[in-house]
Amino acid sequence: MTFNLRFGVTTALALALSAGLVSAQDKSIIVQSTTSTANSGLYDYLLPIFAEQTGIQVNVVAVGTGQAIKNARNCDGDVLLVHAKPAEEQFVADGMGVERFDLMYNDFVIVGPNEDPAGVAGMTDAQDSLEKIAGSGALFASRGDDSGTHKKEMLLWADTDVNPADGSGEWYRETGSGMGATLNAGVGMDAYVMTDRATWISFENKGDFEIQVEGDEDLFNQYGVILVNPEKCENVDAESGQAFVDWLISDAGQQAIGDYKLNGQQLFFPNAE
């Protein structure tokens, strides 16, 4: 069924567009998305290209991954684009998504003040660096919002001997905010922060902060894209939504993702199969 839906709706949309039966102004979709793809400027680059080729306008709701998935479960959107693979796979297993596709990746990094009070600069083991930060008494700012970044952070802490909840409100500060706001808070209080690299590259209020920890394979950050199941959510525009998914994982979409750079740095690396 997934195969037929994926290719059937895309073919139907292409035929309708070519026959003049669908007005470009009438076609729009909602993408429930993680914040990093929006804050990095990726959508500002990609969406005009997609709209020019298809006439479909894409409206992005940029929230933490956990909230994006909740919104999609509530049928508030046509496409889900986030970065928490186990939660994405569960979304599909529960029948809320048609099929999940790997889309692109980058990595997480731990940033902190130049004076590096925990002495973690240059470390490549994420768990060891977190233990060292906790043991030093230095501050650590966490999103604490069930985002993809927060989910990854919790997985890393789970592989240490530290329960950050024991330090909540003391050395461990939970902002309950998005990545940009958490970085601002971290810079303001000289606290270490785990962030995706794309957001860090595009973040302008770095102060004296630098990347202190990077290079651990456990910091790999995979993004996925899913069409919300129209059989569960009757308001889903399956034709336009699948057209967007198909374009993102096509050679043209993957090339566009790879071409997006900021300050000469590539922010996302396409890896759809």
Mean pLDDT value across residues 81-97 = 97
Q: 190 with 139: CB under 8 angstroms? A: yes
Considering the domain architecture, whether residues 7 and 48 belong to the same structural domain is answered as yes
Mean pLDDT value across residues 99-105 = 98
Mean pLDDT value across residues 188-207 = 96
Q: What is the pTM of this model?
A: 0.88
- Tokens of residue 191, six digits: 């606290």
Residue 148 has pLDDT above 50, yes or no: yes
Q: 82 with 149: CB under 8 angstroms? A: no
Type and span of the H or E element at 37: helix 35-39
Considering the domain architecture, whether residues 117 and 212 belong to the same structural domain is answered as yes
Considering the domain architecture, whether residues 118 and 210 belong to the same structural domain is answered as yes
Q: What percent of the chain stands above pLDDT 70?
A: 90
3-state helix, strand, coil in the chain (%, to 5): 45, 25, 30
Length of the chain: 273
Residue 97 has pLDDT above 80, yes or no: yes
Q: Which domain holds residue 206?
A: 107-219
CA angle 206, 210, 212 (to 5 degrees): 145
- What pLDDT, on a 0 to 100 scale, did the predictor assign at position 26? 67
CATH number for the domain spanning 142: value is 3.40.190.10
pLDDT digits over 155-167, tens only? 999 999 999 999 9
- What pLDDT, on a 0 to 100 scale, did the predictor assign at position 9? 44
- Tokens of residue 257, six digits: 């993702």
